[in-house]
Structure 1
Amino acid sequence: WTSAALEFPTALLLDQYVSENWRENYVLTTIWNEAILDTLAKRPHFILLSIDAPISVRWQRFRERCAQENKEAPALDDFVLRNDEHLYDPLSSLATLSSRAQIRILNPTTTIPQLQASLDALNLLDPARMRPTWDQYFMQLADLAARRSNCMRRQVGCVLVRGKRVISTGYNGTPRNVTNCNEGGCARCNTSKGGGTGLSTCLCLHAEENALLEAGRERVGDGAVLYCNTQVFPFSDITAHADPCSCPCLTCSVKIVQVGITEVVFSQSYHMDTQSAKIFQEAGVHLRQYAPPREGLVNLCDLGIVKPDQA
């Protein structure tokens, strides 16, 4: 592990040094097995980043590098074999390391300035990557609640918060003591009916309803915020999906206003029907969208710095 001035014989010594100097930023590129990764990953100020590119792009880059160094470039099939050895060697298992990365970058850029500009746009030093903001924290709780959903149509989670303290959580599904939706409890959700049809026969409570019922009017009080991870669609796309929805529905909107919720936060783009929007506006309920730092697989072309035809 080296830099312009630093070299460490073991991962433990590196970890000790960085932990004592955690206010500085360091980049390490020599993580070749899970033992090293496990030593470093236990620290809260560590982010694992993997960078890859389509194999045809990498082969072309390697050919250009060989030409610059007056070396013979390998044939494509030889390059593919060496690539497989590099990724799946049992001693290094770089594929396993890559699967554990918080951010997996797909880099089709053709120049270093393009790569640097794209990484700047990704904002790798966002403090929220180390410690979630309140919005991020509560939205992740909503995501976790959604995993408890038994609805056959979609999974939705909701969290009610006041003074940065959780009041209640909820997820969509059939009521208590009723057979779970995913076990046949709701006939409507277990059919192939299109979205928006047969709603009067649906037995599933919405996540917002569940959270509001659990909290009650007195516990909610004034100044409460509702977080919901509902996945909904722009109005222009709504007919393209099997179970489109407005966000939130009219029934939930009325209940949200009644219990005194002052703000509703959604994690994804949304469509609101006219009636729900009017109710929120009249009642002074603020609606906003939260976008967390990008993680998982990120194609640098999607950041708007480099167009696909320039990559």
Structure 2
Amino acid sequence: MRINWHEYFMAQAMLLSLRSTCERLSVGATIVKDNRIIAGGYNGSVSGEVHCIDEGCYVEDGHCIRTIHAEINGLLQCSKFGVSTEGASVYVTHFPCINCTKSLIQAGIKNIYYRADYKNHPYAIELLDKNNVHYELIELDSGTINSYFESVQ
């Protein structure tokens, strides 16, 4: 049994989500170019700051302002280490929020693959369509991933 590329990269995003320090929603993102992982991210606090799992969420207007979203963390890793995201794809556990969508477009991401719908904003979808960014729901349940791991000897 061989895992396909979509399953492989989405599984990486799922694994990254396990590093999340947000109690409200664990999100992971894997940025891929030419079938190679160039960065990954998960939602959590700024380096060196307290985490929501330790001190609770810092919520204003219904949003935790303490965390950086997974997609942004991945993009910032690329920026920090001088890795181009032009033409890359992102695998993310949840449909990106409007701000992450805008950032992904500006960073040159051409494909967004997500595992779950999450407050899919109509304007985000409009922006993706206008900018010719392909977006696709990848159905991958944890049972499928578990079966792959169980097949490893």
Q: Tell me, yes or no, whether TM beats 0.5.
A: yes
With the length of structure 1 as denominator, give the TM-score of the two structures: 0.43
Q: Residue 261 of structure 1 aligns with which residue?
A: 109
Shift of 1:292: 3.2
Instruction: Supply the distance in 1 between the matched residues of 2:49 and 2:111 (Cα, whole angstroms).
Output: 32
Larger gyration radius, structure 1 or structure 2: 1
1:273 aligns with 2:121: yes
Equivalent residue for 1:219?
83
The alignment partner of 1:267 has SS state of strand
- Could you tell me how far apart the structure 1 residues matched to 2:102 and 2:117 are? 21
8 Å Cα contact 1:265/1:288 also seen in 2: yes
Rounded to whole Å, the distance in 1 between the matches of 2:120 and 2:31 is 20
Aligned to 1:281, the other structure's residue is in SS state helix
> Shift of the alpha carbon at 1:186?
3.7
Aligned to 1:69: none
Write the letter of the residue equivalent to 1:151: C
d(CA) in 1 for partners of 2:62, 2:58 = 10
**Residue 204 (structure 1) aligned to one of 40, 64, 67:** 67
Which segment is superposed worse, 264-273 or 145-154?
264-273
**What whole-Å deviation, never above 9, does each CA across 1:272-310 have from its counterpart, x for those lacking one?**
2121111111111110011237837xxxxxxxxxxxxxx
Counterparts of 1:171 and 1:221, CA distance in 2: 17
AA in 1 matched with 2:20: S
- The one-letter amino acid paired with 1:221 is T
Q: CA deviation digits over 1:82-128, x for unaligned, max 9?
A: xxxxxxxxxxxxxxxxxxxxxxxxxxxxxxxxxxxxxxxxxxxxxxx
Matches within 5 A, 1:1-311: 130-184=1-55, 186-188=57-59, 197-199=61-63, 202-216=65-79, 219-230=83-94, 247-292=95-140, 295=143
1:166-209 Cα deviation digits (max 9, x unpaired) = 01000001110101111116422xxxx9xxx432x611111111
8 Å contact from structure 2 (residues 98, 124) kept in 1 = yes
Letter in 2 for 1:264: I
| Percent identity of paired positions between Structure 1 and Structure 2 | 30
Are the counterparts in 1 of residues 97 and 119 from structure 2 also a CA contact under 8 Å? Answer: no
Give 2:77's aligned amino acid: E
Tell me the TM-score normalized by structure 2.
0.84
Cα RMSD of the aligned pairs, angstroms, is 2.1
**Structure with higher strand content:** 2
**1:187 is aligned with what amino acid?**
Y
- Which structure has more relative contact order (CA 8 Å, sep 6+)? It is 2
Which runs of 4 or more aligned residues in structure 1 lie more than 3 Å from their structure 2 counterparts after TM superposition?
Answer: 292-296
Distance 1:198 1:167, change over 3 A: same
The alignment of Structure 1 onto Structure 2 pairs a total of residues equal to: 143
